[in-house]
């Protein structure tokens, strides 16, 4: 019984070997074509160590700049909804002001083929990941772009903007 089934499967395979060979070649060619047509995406990550929570001068200056509060950095963090200086810095990095400056600096409306500044800001936000490691307090800025040099430049520009604001 098993020999009969094997014989039937083998004869079916041999009868359809040309079709199976063509299907294999078409599938292989399609897969290669799709792999070459998908644009490459490059990531650049910058990691920042925020100041200690005890050193409140940077936070106080940042709070004064944003016009939300004056005084101690801990108070500024509470008023802005941040529990730590890292969370406050992540909030600043994701702000419309920083995104507008980066969009202008790198002409992102042209890069992303959009007409409105708001659309360029949205695309930048989609291509940027801002995160704070709760244990260590390290802030990670990851930018994804088709151009590796631009991805690195934008991630560095985030750092420059944060330094400028603080």
Contacts of 37 (CB under 8 A, 6+ apart): none
Q: Is the pTM of this model over 0.75?
A: no
Q: Per-residue pLDDT for 159 more than 70?
A: yes
Alpha-carbon gap, residue 84 to 133, rounded angstroms: 11
Q: For residue 106, how far is the Cα from the chain centroid?
A: 16
Contacts of 126 (CB under 8 A, 6+ apart): none
Q: Per-residue pLDDT for 149 more than 90?
A: yes
The token duo for 31 is 């897969």
Alpha-carbon gap, residue 98 to 157, rounded angstroms: 9
pLDDT (average), residues 106-131 = 92
**What digits encode the pLDDT tens for the residues 12-52?**
888 888 898 999 999 999 999 998 888 888 999 999 887 66
Contacts of 21 (CB under 8 A, 6+ apart): none
Alpha-carbon gap, residue 158 to 92, rounded angstroms: 10
């Amino acid at each position: 019984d098993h020999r009969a089934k094997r014989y039937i499967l083998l004869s079916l395979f041999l009868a359809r070997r040309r079709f199976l060979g063509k299907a294999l070649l078409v599938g292989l060619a399609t897969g290669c074509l799709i792999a070459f047509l998908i644009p490459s995406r490059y990531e650049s990550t910058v990691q920042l160590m925020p100041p200690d929570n005890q050193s409140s001068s940077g936070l106080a200056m940042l709070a004064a700049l944003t016009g939300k509060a004056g005084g101690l950095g801990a108070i500024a963090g509470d008023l802005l909804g941040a529990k730590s200086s890292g969370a406050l810095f992540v909030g600043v990095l994701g702000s419309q002001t920083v995104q507008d400056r980066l969009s202008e600096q790198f002409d992102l409306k042209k890069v992303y083929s959009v007409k409105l500044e708001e659309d360029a800001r949205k695309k930048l936000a989609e291509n940027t990941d801002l995160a704070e490691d709760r244990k260590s307090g390290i802030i990670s800025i990851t930018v994804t772009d088709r151009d590796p040099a631009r991805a690195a430049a934008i991630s560095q520009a985030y750092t420059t903007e944060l330094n400028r604001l603080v």
